[in-house]
């Protein structure tokens, strides 16, 4: 698996990680989800993203099962605090609960899940305290547009934002106009969630001539072409969810080839970025 330096840190992150939003939580499908996460680790997809919101903490417990027995330093764990918990004390307590569910002593990255009604200075102060206490190595935000990122940065006193996790797929490329250039300038990585989108994009990936034409040329799948396109910028990482071993193995094959300028132009024409630069969220 190809790795890149997380901007502003000394941490190497796999270009393609593993998401856990809406991951199956119980029964045979839940057991397969655990196997998929373990297989992803074997394939070098060592960045696992989760959140206290996912399954009301159940996703973190599934991640704990998947990483059991794996040396802690071999996994890059990200979790998130809900905005409703993002007071100073609430953020500290939420992180402690996540650590307990994950059965680890620290996170690698802890994020504010989306802008909160609590003062950003209060939340950022709590995140910095968690770094000082050794509860997380790095901090960041999620679903923040340019103005929100600026406010979060300005509220920091000792640390810096390592990433902004946002929605980014072929039909939601608004971040390319304003947010991505700004974050690159500030050395804040973009971590793209839901890279395959939902609804109509899935149909386009099955029937889209452009994606399948390019996939055939590279001997890849349409999903692999999508992941490679979204991570063509060196400051962008992605965290597709894969609930089966088959899908996680497919995702892992998206980081060992390069798209040509012609490929990128074709995809750009078929799935143009919106001109208003709006940040979309689920």
The single residue listed with the structure tokens 């996939």 is: 215
Between 5-19, 89-103, 118-132, 220-234, the lowest mean confidence (pLDDT) is in 5-19
Q: CB-based burial of residue 147 (10 Å sphere; 0-12 exposed, 13-18 middle, 19+ buried)?
A: exposed
The single residue listed with the structure tokens 């905005």 is: 83
> How many domains does one find in the chain?
1
Q: CB-based burial of residue 186 (10 Å sphere; 0-12 exposed, 13-18 middle, 19+ buried)?
A: middle
Q: In which band, very low, low, confident or very high, does the pLDDT at 200 lie, cut at 50, 70 and 90?
A: low
Give a yes or no: residue 266 inside a domain: no
DSSP labels, 175-240: GGTTHHHHHHHTT-EEEEE-TT-STHHHHHHHH-HHHHHHHHHHT--HHHHHHHHHT-STTEEE--
Q: In which band, very low, low, confident or very high, does the pLDDT at 203 lie, cut at 50, 70 and 90?
A: low
pLDDT at 73 over 80: yes
pLDDT at 88 over 90: yes
CA dihedral 134, 135, 141, 142 (to 10 degrees): 150
Give a yes or no: residue 123 inside a domain: yes
Q: In which band, very low, low, confident or very high, does the pLDDT at 206 lie, cut at 50, 70 and 90?
A: low
Give a yes or no: residue 226 inside a domain: no
CATH number of the domain where residue 52 is located? 3.20.20.100
Q: Tell me if residue 54 is catalytic.
A: yes
pLDDT value for 204: 59
Average pLDDT, the chain: 92
Give a yes or no: residue 155 inside a domain: yes
Give a yes or no: residue 50 inside a domain: yes
* pTM exceeds 0.85: yes
Between 26-35, 60-69, 139-148, the lowest mean confidence (pLDDT) is in 26-35
pLDDT value for 277: 65
pLDDT value for 254: 94
pLDDT at 201 over 90: no
Tell me which DSSP letter residue 119 carries: -
pLDDT value for 274: 75
Per residue in 89-125, pLDDT (tens digit) is 999 999 999 999 999 999 999 999 999 999 999 999 9
Per residue in 247-278, pLDDT (tens digit) is 999 999 998 899 999 999 999 999 988 777 67
pLDDT value for 262: 96
Give the domain range for residue 91. Answer: 12-200+234-258
Catalytic residue among 54, 110, 168, 193: 54
């Amino acid at each position: 698996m190809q790795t890149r330096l997380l901007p502003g840190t000394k941490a190497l992150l796999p270009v393609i990680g593993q998401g856990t939003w809406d991951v199956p939580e119980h029964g045979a499908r839940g057991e397969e989800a655990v196997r998929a996460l373990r297989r992803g680790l074997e394939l070098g997809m060592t960045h696992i993203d989760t959140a206290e919101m996912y399954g009301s903490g159940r996703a973190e417990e599934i991640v704990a099962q998947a990483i059991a027995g794996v040396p802690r330093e071999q996994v890059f764990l990200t979790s998130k605090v809900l905005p409703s918990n993002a007071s100073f004390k609430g953020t500290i307590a939420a992180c402690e609960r996540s650590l307990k569910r994950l059965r680890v002593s620290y996170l690698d990255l802890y994020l504010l899940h989306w802008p909160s009604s609590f003062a950003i200075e209060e939340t950022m102060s709590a995140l910095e305290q968690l770094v000082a206490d050794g509860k997380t190595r790095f901090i960041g935000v999620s679903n923040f547009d340019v103005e929100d990122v600026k406010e979060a940065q300005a509220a920091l006193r000792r640390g810096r934002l390592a990433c902004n996790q946002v929605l980014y797929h072929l039909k939601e490329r608004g971040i390319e106009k304003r947010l991505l250039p700004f974050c690159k300038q500030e050395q804040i990585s973009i971590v793209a969630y839901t890279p395959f989108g939902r609804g109509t994009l899935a149909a386009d990936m099955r029937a889209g001539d452009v994606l399948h034409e390019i996939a055939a040329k590279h001997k890849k799948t349409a999903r692999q072409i999508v992941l490679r396109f979204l991570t063509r910028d060196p400051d962008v990482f992605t965290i597709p969810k894969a609930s089966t071993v088959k899908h996680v193995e497919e995702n892992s094959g998206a980081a060992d080839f390069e798209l040509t300028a012609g490929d990128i132009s074709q995809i750009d024409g078929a799935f143009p970025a919106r001109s208003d630069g709006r940040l979309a969220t689920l």
